[in-house]
Amino acid sequence: MHRQASNALDAWAARPRRHALVVRGARQVGKTWLLRDLGARRFGTTALIDFQLDPGAAEIFERTRASEVIANIEALTETRVTPGSTLLILDEVQEVPRVIERVRLLIEGVPALHIALAGSALDVALRDARVGMPVGRVEFGYVEPMSFGDFLGAVGNAPCVFRST
C-alpha cells in the first residue's frame, strides 16, 4: 500500500546530506508501518528497537563510542548495521527520553546511517521531560491519519480529483 507520507520519507532517505528523522503523530496513524515499509522498499536491512517492548535496550545508548553502540544494536536486533544500506528505527522512544539525547553520538559518529525515531506520545515526552534535542542534527516529520486518497489507492482505485467548474 502506498501512502502520501511515503513520498516524504522517500525524499528524506534519498538525500545524501540528511539529519536523523523524528516522526511524530497520533496513536495508530501508521508511523511504525510507514518506517518499516520504507526500510523494506529502500534499504537492504532494517534494524528496529521498540523501547516499549524492551525499555532495557536504552542501556545500549549509554556507551561512549558510536562503534560500541552499533555493535550492541547489531547484537540486540540480530541485524548487520551498514551505513547507507540500513535503516535504524528507534520506536516508542518516548519511553526512554534520554535515548533522544544520546542518539547524537550516532548522528555525529556515523553520519551515513539513516536513523528514524518515532513514538505516539513523543510530543508529550519532549515537552515534559525537558529532553536535550540534538539541535541541528534532527528533522521532524508528522504523520497524519490515512487520507481518503490513501484509502482509495489501498483498495485498488485511483484517487479522485476534485475540480471546480
**Residue-averaged pLDDT of the chain:** 86
The lowest-confidence range among 78-82, 100-104, 107-111 is: 100-104
Name the pTM for this structure: 0.85
What pLDDT shows up at residue 165? 45
Whether residue 63 lies inside any domain: the answer is: yes
Mean pLDDT (whole number) for 115-144:
74
Q: Tell me, what's the pLDDT at 4?
A: 82
In a domain, 116, yes or no: yes
Q: Is residue 164 part of a domain?
A: no
Domain CATH number, residue 88 = 3.40.50.300
Tally of CA atoms within 13 A in the half-sphere of 38 that contains its CB? 30
Model confidence band, residue 98 (pLDDT cutoffs 50, 70, 90): confident
Q: Which DSSP helix (H) or strand (E) runs through 141?
A: strand 138-142
Q: Give strand pairing partners of 88.
A: 47, 115
Residue 160 is assigned to a structural domain of this protein: no
Domain that holds residue 110: 4-10+19-154
pLDDT at 17: 86
At which residue does the C-alpha cell 532517505 appear?
Answer: 13
Does 162 map to a domain? Answer: no
Of the chain, the percentage scoring pLDDT greater than 70 comes to 87
The pLDDT tens digits for 85-96 are 999 999 999 888
Number of domains the chain is built from: 1
Note every long-range contact of 124-133, with CB atoms under 8 Å and residues 24 or more positions apart, other chains counting: 124/94, 125/93, 125/94, 125/97, 126/94, 126/97, 126/100, 129/97, 131/97, 131/98, 131/100, 131/101, 132/100, 132/101, 133/100, 133/101
161 lies in some domain: no
Model confidence pLDDT, tens digit, residues 25-66: 888 888 999 999 999 999 999 999 999 999 999 999 998 899
pLDDT at 146 over 80: no
